[in-house]
Amino acid sequence: MLTLKDVDAYYGNVQVLRGMALQARAGEILCLLGRNGAGKTTTLKTIMGLVRAQTGTITLDGEDITALPAHSVPVRGIGYVPQGRRLFAEMTVAENLEIGLMTRGRGRDVRERMLDLFPVLRDRLKQVSGTLSGGEQQMLAMARALCLEPRVLLLDEPTEGLQPSMIALIRDVVTQLKGGDTAVILVEQRVEAVLSVADRVLFIENGAPRETVDAATLRADPALVQRYVGVG
């Protein structure tokens, strides 16, 4: 289980997270919802150690990872699919996967599982990843993160800019993680996508956590969504 308690973070002198708190449990999908600039992406970057938590604690299965250098966080088992995919665009598909496998010393069997999960990548192994379509790039970004066999998977707007068939595919893969050993934290702008996969939803406003609601409750009360993100 990943836990954030009372985490503050800054970009320079500007405070971007104020007392951020959340719990992500194995087999469960926790969605972060909020307006643009609310602090959703920063929350993920702070978990990854890419933005330093100035106060508060971040623990992974009881281990305090707050002060770990950024490169040590993924080794503990936190996989990250950044916003905009952030593939190593001049490297091949195989090399991108290799980077993911190297992170926690995973082998060919894990790579084969990823290629079974995203079969289109198998035909593109030698292709430079920057030349893939948007949907294929997103699949590669997810496969690269899943190569860690993560205990926690952070997904930052994985369906952004994708066509409906790709969105469905990504949603299927995320849904498959439910009930397993992996906790998923999903940042998503599209409310209907959130409601279709989430177990719980954390509303974030001005860098602070406001309310955590069961997705079932939210589906029955769209006014809650309206209150925090202005759409229904």
What minimum distance in Å lies between the beta carbon of 161 and other proteins? 18
Comparison of 92 and 206: residue with beta carbon closer to other proteins: 92
Contact mark string toward other proteins, 58..87, x via CB under 8 A: -----------xxxxxxx----x-x---x-
Helix 134-146 and helix 108-117, axial crossing angle in degrees, nearest 10: 140
Comparison of 39 and 100: residue with beta carbon closer to other proteins: 100
| Rounded distance between C-alpha atoms, residue 131 and residue 114, angstroms | 20
- Confirm or reject binding of residue 89 to other proteins (CB under 8 A): yes
| Rounded distance between C-alpha atoms, residue 132 and residue 216, angstroms | 37
Select the residue interacting with other proteins from 34, 100, 135, 158 (CB under 8 A). 100
Q: State the DSSP H helix or E strand holding residue 174, giving kind and residue range, or none if neither.
A: helix 164-176
Comparison of 51 and 198: residue with beta carbon closer to other proteins: 51
Termini Cα distance of the chain: 31
Comparison of 74 and 158: residue with beta carbon closer to other proteins: 74
Amino acid at 154: L
* Closest C-alpha among 211, 213, 180 to residue 194: 213
Q: Within 127-166, which residues bind other proteins (CB under 8 A)?
A: 144, 148
Q: Within 182-211, which residues bind other proteins (CB under 8 A)?
A: none
Report whether 88 contacts 129 (CB < 8 A): yes
**Of the ranges 20-28, 101-109, 115-123, 190-198, which one interacts with other proteins (CB under 8 A)?**
101-109
- Confirm or reject binding of residue 48 to other proteins (CB under 8 A): yes
In terms of DSSP H, where are the helices of 177-230? 191-197, 215-220, 222-229
| Rounded distance between C-alpha atoms, residue 199 and residue 196, angstroms | 9
Identify the bridge partners of residue 55 per DSSP, sorted by sequence position: 8
Query: Total residues contacting other proteins (rule CB under 8 A)?
Result: 26
- Confirm or reject binding of residue 10 to other proteins (CB under 8 A): no
Interface ranges with other proteins (CB under 8 A): 48-50, 69-75, 80, 82, 86, 88-91, 95, 98-100, 102-104, 144, 148
